Amino acid sequence: MLCCLFGVQIKCALLKLLQHNVLDVTPVAAIRGGAPTVAYNINVQEALYRLRFPKFIELAKGMFGVEGEVIMEEVLVQGRVRMDQSLETMAYNLAEQRRQDQKQKAQEAEGDQAAAAEDDDISEEELDECRHLVQEAFVEMAKKRYISRVHPLDLKVVEPEEGPEFPASIMGRGQDKGATSNLNSKSAAAAAAGGGGNASSANGANKNGKAAGEDGITVRGKKRKAPSAPSGNAIPVELQMILEADEAARKGNDDSEAEWEPNSASSSTSSGRGSKRKKNSKRAKLPTRGTSSGDGTTCGETSGEDAPDGSGATTDERSLVWRFGVTQLLRDLRHKACIKFATENINAVAGVIVEAMLQHSSPREREKDEPTSFPVSARDLFEMESVKKALPSEANNPWRLLLNYIMVMCRDKSGMVMKVSQEAFDPTQARSGDGGQYVVHMQKIVEFLQQATTRAYIQDKYGVASARIVRLLMEKRQLEQKTIGELALLPSNDARHRLYELYTDKLLKMQEIPKRADHNPAFTFFCWSVDVPQMQTRIAERVQDSLCRLRRRRKFEAEENKELIARSEQLVEANDLDKFDKLSRSLDRLDRAIIHLDGMLMLYRDF
């Protein structure tokens, strides 16, 4: 396939893939003096993120309004954007979107004629206003991490690190050891040559303090160990390396250290150990990159990565490259799933409480799969406006009602909320207790949802009896084949058939425990178990394959009936209207199936 393409076409295709964040570029070191090369790999995870583009646009619209929707749509369509290049397009799209909203409102209020009368060109004043709104929304989205900056590619090949230069004391010690070993070998050879010389050397060794037995025989083991025995005051090798490296750095940075010398007399009269510790700590803060050796006024605020040429020139903010912030977007989708779970399991008030806890925790989270939220006290929750509005107004004691809701969520079988600290009392306040601190255990919620989704998938595909078998194995960890049939209330043949069906699809694991050496099946235990991560990976792969087939089917249906879709507004005949209605219902069914499977895939892969 690639042999039919020209070099320019291949380069354009690679740039397009890189533009849309689905290509990983890795430099490869040269082999045997050749030129360094670059390796290209497809990032499958980034390609799967494209399934979530509608959800990302919906999140941006809910957080930042129509401006956020327009910006997120432009970023997702282009892959990577620059503010100076895309500002005009986003401003025009925003103006068009506002015009459409106004038309819809006018149609609802006055009719089609009034809406058609307002159809004119977009003025320059309106475009200026849209530019200003887009710039403000863009900055807010960058602050909230809905869009993130793309840094330039680092195509430098990592060279192998050179071995450390050991200090002279360590090298001398090694040479002494080698010399002593050579001397020992030479003395052994001399001892083999003559017996008289051996006796005289043994006597000399005894005179020098070497251990010897009562019969005059010298112990050779102690004689070999004596030169290499460490003394009580010997400095460890690691400490010697640190001290000598510190001394070398001190000699090379005398000019830099002059800036950090204390000016007050009190610091000079401090203890020697404390002043040495201060100097060492200040010396560790000195810049190692991005500073010029000749300029003594440079403080090293810019590192070598930000200013590789040492000039310290700043990059224009309008020329920065941006992409969608996948971590923050996936984190918000995870939060929405936790809120929906609390609402469906308990009620809407519990969902509002969980939402308030996650909103309080969101600015402090950094990873997309944080196990728990940031702790928040019940008193802080009670003071939030959203929680106050959610609690019933006719309640006699809203504070006690909030504590009861939190206690119910803590005792839920999913473990959605967890108490992390006991109640603290402040005697200066009218209400001294804060109710304790609580967190939303998002990891337990996700695990509970994964188990429920897995059981539902197995029940739909293999039947209720197979789902019962899987639930038993997940609870009991490992069971024998006969015991599974008894606990699942199934005949032995039916249980065996279902077990091997699940085993063929790589959803179960089997271990044979023979009683005899010939592995006779009549005298062999077959123990079955469930590897939950392997099962979830297998189900995620099947969901991914189903998604591909559904999308291909939808594309085929749309291409087969593209003429009917193109003239959908001009259909008059009943036959054409029936065809279009059937096509619309078919495409809608496929879209709903794709959305459902994408939610399952996101639960297994991203949460």
Closest CA to 317 of 146, 138, 91: 138
CA distance 380 to 434: 8
Determine, yes or no, domain membership for 241.
Answer: no
- Domain assignment of residue 459, yes or no: yes
Residue 342 lies in a domain: yes
Q: Which residue has the tokens 């003239």?
A: 567
Asked whether residue 158 is domain-assigned, the answer is no
Report how many domains make up the chain: 4
Instruction: Give me 401's structure tokens.
Output: 């009602």
Closest to 328 measured CA to CA, from 148, 149, 145 = 145
pLDDT of residue 430: 57
Indicate which CATH number applies to the domain containing 95.
1.10.10
Taking alpha carbons only, the member of 317, 312, 293 closest to residue 301 is 312
User: Under a CB-based contact definition with an 8 Å cutoff, are residues 484 and 528 in contact?
Assistant: yes
The residue range of the domain holding 577 is 540-605
Helices (H), 260-413: 265-268, 272-284, 326-345, 348-361, 378-383, 385-390, 398-410
Share of residues in the chain with pLDDT > 70 (%): 69
Is residue 57 domain-resident? yes
Our measurement of the distance from residue 165's CA atom to the centroid of its chain's CA atoms, rounded to an integer in Å, reads 38
Asked whether residue 98 is domain-assigned, the answer is yes
- Say if residue 330 is in the same domain as residue 420: yes
Q: Which residues pair with 37 in a beta bridge?
A: 28
> Which tokens go with 71?
């910006």
Give the contacts of 113 (CB within 8 A, at least 6 positions apart): none
pLDDT (tens digit, 9 = 90+) per residue, 491-541? 988 998 999 999 999 899 988 888 878 777 777 888 899 989 999 999 999
What single-letter amino acid sits at 514?
A: P
Statement to judge: residues 51 and 131 lie in one domain: yes
Is residue 247 situated within a structural domain? no
β-strand partners of 524: 514
Would you say residue 510 lies in a domain?
yes
Count of C-beta atoms within a 10 Å radius of residue 484 = 23
Same domain, 416 and 501: no
Residues in the chain where the model's pLDDT stays below 50? 112-117, 174, 177-233, 255-314
Query: Residues 566, 496: one domain?
Result: no
Q: Are residues 552 and 525 in the same domain?
A: no
For residues 574 and 491, state if they share a domain: no
Identify whether residues 462 and 385 lie together within a single domain.
no
- Cα 454 from Cα 452, distance rounded (Å): 5
Are residue 84 and residue 143 in the same domain, yes or no? yes
Do 520 and 548 have their domain in common?
Answer: no
Cα separation, 68 vs 78, in Å, equals 15
* CATH number of the domain residue 469 falls in: 1.10.10.10
